[in-house]
Every structure is written in C-alpha cells, then in structure tokens.
Amino acid sequence: MKIVLQRVSEASVLVHDEHVGAIDHGLMLLVGVHEDDTEKQMEWLAEKILKLRVFDDEDGKMNLSVQDVGGEILVIPQFTLYGDYEQGNRPSYFEAAGPDKADKLYEDLIGYFKKHSDLNIESGQFGAYMDVRLRNDGPVTLVMER
C-alpha cells in the first residue's frame, strides 16, 4: 500500500460537480493499493497515520498528531500511485490491485480510522472520476509505503 499524506488547511473531493467529501484542518491521503497488499499492512499504516506527529505544537515544532489537534482525514483512492513509467511514455498499472481487492482495502482503511479514532473521516468515491482540491499546510507531504 502506498499513501501520499498531505497536511492541509482544507481539502475536498467532487464527483460530477457534487461534493462527496470535505475537511478543514487535517490530513488528505491519496491511497494506492498494490496487488500483494494485506489487511495487516493497511492496519500498520493506518495506526502510523493516526499517531504521526506532523502538526506544530506551541513552539512551532512538528510534535502533534492529527488526533492531538482534533483534525480531520480525507481519504482518496488513487490507483495511479502504482503507475510504472520506466518503459515507454504511457504508464502501466500492472502492480495496482484489481478493483475488488483495492476497493475492499480502501474501505477497510476508512473503517479503521472510524473505529480507532473520534476524528471526522471523509472519503472520495472508488472508481469515479474525482475533482480533488486542497490547500496544503506547510507544505508537509510524506510518501508512505508498507
């Protein structure tokens, strides 16, 4: 599983010009599922994200987690994170999980956040063409993979 995590002051996702998810201060996650990913890997990443200290404390140091600041999380499916661009000019996506497996792990990730935190968790729509908008805070961006 590969996740691009961005600290945001706001983020939203639209499908067919309709908002399906929106947050204020928090984390936006672009989530790609690999064909070999497991539930255990997803849980490890989810727990790490909930505890990751990427928000500033009163001294301006990144020392607080999204839970510490009462932030929100927006989770967006993004199979193109597993695009292979080595040969030719058109990426291939052979390493990305098929739709059934990818959708299940994506939904399980959202469910994990909801079960293990009191945060507002919003999401995109799996398989849809999405208009993703964000205002990066920092910017702080991490690429996480497990």
Q: Rounded distance, CA 132 to CA 28, Å? A: 10
18 secondary structure, DSSP code: E
The answer to the question of residue 9 being in a domain is yes
The confidence score (pLDDT) of residue 146 equals 87
Quote the pTM value. Answer: 0.96
Indicate if 41 belongs to the active site: no
Strand partners, 74: 28, 122
Q: Rounded distance, CA 11 to CA 6, Å? A: 10
Secondary structure (3-state) at 134? strand
Indicate if 78 belongs to the active site: yes
CATH number at residue 33: 3.50.80.10
Percent of the chain with pLDDT over 90: 99
The answer to the question of residue 143 being in a domain is no
The answer to the question of residue 27 being in a domain is yes
The answer to the question of residue 26 being in a domain is yes
From 79, 87, 125, 126, active-site residue = 79
Indicate if 113 belongs to the active site: no
Specify the number of domains making up the chain.
1
C-alpha radius of gyration, the chain, whole number: 15
The answer to the question of residue 102 being in a domain is yes
From 6, 80, 113, 125, active-site residue = 80
Instruction: Evaluate if residue 79 carries a pLDDT over 90.
Output: yes
